[in-house]
C-alpha cells in the first residue's frame, strides 16, 4: 500500500470539501493528500462533546419532514444537493496504484436493479465522528450490537450507545499504554501516542493496529489494555488490517496484516505469536472463512490469494482485479468470498471453483474499501472511499441494490450482529458523524399474529 501518513488525525484529506465554499474550493482528490502535524490532538473527545449541539443531530422524523440526513443546510447554500452531487461525480479522482486499462471492466460488471431500500435512515449524530489515519484503510468502525458501536476519533476509541445516544471514551492511545497481561516470554511492550490505522471488535475483544506496526488488544469488560506491542518495525511497519476469528476447534485468534508482507497469528489468551506467514507483497487485508479453515490474503497485487489458515500454504489464486485490493469478507455460508479493489469493483468468488469470479459489482466513483455481510447472509454492504455505500440483496443473486448517498469520507461500515442496524462512519471537518440505518421489515403485522 502507499505509505502516506495522516499526521492530522482528525482530518485525513488535505481539504475536505467545504460545503459553504463550493465555487472556490471544488472537490479535491482527498485520497491522495495528507496534512501537516497538529500536536494539540491528544484526546479531543471532551472538546468535541462540549462543542457539539443536539440540534446538529438528525432523526428519522426530521428526515421525513425534509431535513438533510447529515444536517447540511442546502436551502442556505447557493447550490443544490443535486448540483453538488453532479459536480462531485465529475471531478472525483479515484486513487490508482496500477494504471491498467479499464475499458473491458464495464462489460464484466453485473447489471443491477437500483432504488431499493433495505435499510432505512434512523439517526445521525455529530456527537461522535470518525477519523482516518491512512486514506486506503477504512476499517475503523464496528458494531457489537444494534445499540453498541465502536469507532476511532482522533486518539480515542469511542463507544456510542444508539439507545442512550451518548458517547464515551473507552481507550486513549495518546497516553502511555501499559499492558496488564504479563508472563515470562511475553512480547508485550509499553506504547504511547499510537495512531490507530485499523481495528476490529468482536464479542468482548477489541484489537487495533497502528501506523508504526503496533498491535493493541483490550477486553471491553476489563479496565486497561491486556496486550500491546510493536510487531514489526521499519519503513513498512504499518499494520493494515486486524481480524478476530475462530479456529476449527473454537479457539479465538487475532490475525494481523502488515506492509512488511507478513501475516501473523496470535492467540487471544496470552497473545503469543503462533504463526507467521510470508507473501510476495504488502498485505492489506485478511479474512478467515467462517469454518476457520481458509484465509483470504489481499494486498499490493492485482491477484488475491486463498491460503490454508493453519499452515499459510497458498491453495488458490484469484485473478481478475486490475489494481491493489484492500477489503474482503466471507458470506456466512463460507462458499462466497467478496474482494474489494481500487479498480472500483467488488468481485465475488465461489470457493468451489476459483478459476474466475462469479460476479463483478461496480461502485459509483471510487475504490471499494470496506465490505461486510449480515450475519444471516441476506445482505452485503460495500463502501467506497467517499459518498457511497451499496447494500446488495444476496437472495436476488446480488441483482437488487440500495445506494446510500451521502457526502464525506467513509471511515467504516458495520452491520449489527442481529442484522437490524447498519452503521456508517463519516469523516469530515464540518459534517463528520455516525449514521444509523435500520433494517426494514414488511411483515410486522403478520409476524405479530403468527
Name 362's bridge partners.
345
Q: Which pLDDT belongs to residue 3?
A: 60
Q: What is the chain's Cα-based Rg?
A: 21
Question: Alpha-carbon distance 393 to 376, whole Å?
Answer: 12
Query: pTM score, two decimals?
Result: 0.89
Nearest to 379 by CA among 405, 401, 361, 404: 401
Q: What pLDDT does residue 112 have?
A: 95
Looking at residues 210-231, what average pLDDT do you find? 96
Residue 216, pLDDT > 50, answer yes
Return d(Cα 38, Cα 58) in angstroms, integer: 30
Distance CA 387, CA 385 (A): 7
**pLDDT digits 0-9 by tens, 366-392:** 999 999 999 999 999 999 999 999 999
Q: What average pLDDT does range 55-76 have in this prediction?
A: 94
pLDDT confidence tier of residue 17, bands split at 50, 70 and 90: very low
How far apart CA 209 and CA 275 sit, in angstroms, is 17
pLDDT digits (tens, 9 = 90+) for 299-352: 999 999 999 999 999 999 999 999 999 999 999 999 999 999 999 999 999 999
Q: Which residues of 252-280 are buried (b: 16+ CB within 10 A; e: fewer)?
A: bbbbbbbbbbbbbbbebeebeeeeebebe
Residue 448: which residues within 8 A CB-CB, separation 6 or more? none
CA distances from 219 to 12, 98, 201, 227 (A): 28, 40, 10, 9
Whether 446 shows a pLDDT value over 60: the answer reads: no
Q: Are 414 and 149 in contact (CB under 8 A)?
A: yes
- Say what the pLDDT of residue 13 is: 39
Q: CB–CB of 303/315 below 8 Å?
A: no
pLDDT by residue (tens digit) across 174-206?
Answer: 999 999 998 887 889 999 999 999 999 998 999
Q: Could you give the CA distance from residue 380 to residue 110 in angstroms, rounded to a whole number?
A: 15
Q: What pLDDT sits at residue 443?
A: 63
Please, which pLDDT band fits residue 50 given cuts at 50, 70 and 90?
Answer: very low
pLDDT at position 444: 52
Q: The sheet that has 433-439: what strands, in order across it?
A: 58-59, 119-125, 433-439, 421-427, 400-415, 386-393, 379-383, 370-373
**Does the pLDDT at position 37 exceed 50?**
no
d(CA 353, CA 357): 9
**pLDDT confidence of residue 49:** 41
Average pLDDT, rounded, for the chain: 88
pLDDT category at 4 given cuts 50, 70, 90 is low
Q: What percent of the chain has pLDDT over 90?
A: 79
Look at residue 2 in the predicted model and tell me its pLDDT.
67
Q: Specify the range with the lowest mean pLDDT, choosing from 173-187, 210-224, 280-294.
A: 173-187
d(CA 40, CA 36): 12
Amino acid at each position: 500500500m502507499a505509505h502516506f501518513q495522516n499526521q492530522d488525525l482528525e482530518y485525513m484529506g488535505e481539504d475536505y470539501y467545504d460545503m459553504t465554499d463550493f465555487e472556490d474550493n471544488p472537490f479535491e482528490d482527498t485520497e491522495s493528500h495528507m496534512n501537516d502535524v497538529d500536536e494539540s490532538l491528544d484526546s479531543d473527545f471532551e472538546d468535541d462533546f462540549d462543542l457539539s449541539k443536539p440540534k446538529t443531530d438528525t432523526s428519522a422524523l426530521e428526515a421525513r419532514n425534509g431535513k438533510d440526513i447529515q444536517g447540511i443546510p442546502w436551502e442556505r447554500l447557493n447550490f443544490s444537493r443535486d448540483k453538488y452531487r453532479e459536480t462531485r461525480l465529475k471531478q472525483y479522482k479515484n486513487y490508482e496504484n496500477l494504471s491498467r486499462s479499464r475499458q473491458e471492466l464495464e462489460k464484466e460488471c453485473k447489471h443491477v436493479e437500483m432504488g431499493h431500500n433495505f435499510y432505512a435512515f434512523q439517526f445521525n449524530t455529530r456527537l461522535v465522528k470518525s477519523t482516518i489515519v491512512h486514506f486506503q484503510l477504512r476499517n475503523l468502525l464496528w458494531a457489537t450490537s444494534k445499540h453498541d458501536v465502536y469507532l476511532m476519533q482522533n486518539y480515542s476509541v469511542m463507544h456510542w450507545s444508539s439507545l442512550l445516544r451518548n458517547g464515551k471514551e473507552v481507550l486513549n492511545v495518546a497516553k502511555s499504554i501499559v499492558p496488564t497481561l504479563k508472563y515470562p516470554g511475553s512480547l508485550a511492550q509499553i506504547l504511547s501516542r499510537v495512531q490507530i490505522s485499523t481495528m476490529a471488535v468482536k464479542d468482548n475483544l477489541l484489537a487495533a493496529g497502528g501506523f508504526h506496526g503496533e498491535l493493541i488488544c483490550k477486553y471491553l469488560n476489563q479496565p486497561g489494555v491486556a496486550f500491546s506491542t510493536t510487531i514489526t518495525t521499519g519503513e513498512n511497519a504499518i499494520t493494515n488490517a486486524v481480524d478476530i476469528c475462530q479456529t476449527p476447534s473454537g479457539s479465538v485468534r487475532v490475525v494481523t496484516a502488515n506492509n512488511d508482507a507478513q501475516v501473523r497469528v496470535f492467540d487471544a489468551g496470552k497473545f503469543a505469536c503462533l504463526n507467521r506467514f510470508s507473501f510476495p507483497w504488502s498485505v492489506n487485508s485478511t479474512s478467515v472463512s467462517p469454518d476457520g479453515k481458509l484465509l483470504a490474503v489481499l494486498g499490493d497485487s492485482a491477484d488475491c490469494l486463498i491460503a490454508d489458515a493453519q499452515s499459510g500454504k497458498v491453495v488458490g489464486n484469484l485473478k481478475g482485479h486490475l489494481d491493489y485490493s484492500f477489503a474482503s469478507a466471507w458470506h456466512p455460508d463460507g462458499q462466497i468470498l467478496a474482494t474489494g479493489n481500487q479498480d472500483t469493483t467488488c468481485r465475488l468468488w465461489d470457493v468451489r471453483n476459483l478459476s474466475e469470479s462469479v460476479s463483478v459489482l461496480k461502485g459509483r466513483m471510487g475504490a471499494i474499501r470496506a465490505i461486510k455481510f449480515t450475519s444471516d447472509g441476506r445482505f452485503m454492504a460495500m463502501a467506497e472511499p467517499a459518498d457511497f455505500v451499496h447494500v446488495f440483496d444476496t437472495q436476488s443473486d446480488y441483482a437488487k441494490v440500495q445506494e446510500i448517498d451521502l457526502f464525506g469520507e467513509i471511515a467504516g461500515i458495520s452491520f449489527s450482529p442481529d442484522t437490524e442496524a447498519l452503521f456508517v462512519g463519516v469523516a469530515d471537518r464540518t459534517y463528520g458523524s455516525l449514521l444509523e440505518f435500520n433494517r426494514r421489515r414488511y411483515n410486522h403485522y403478520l409476524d405479530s399474529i403468527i
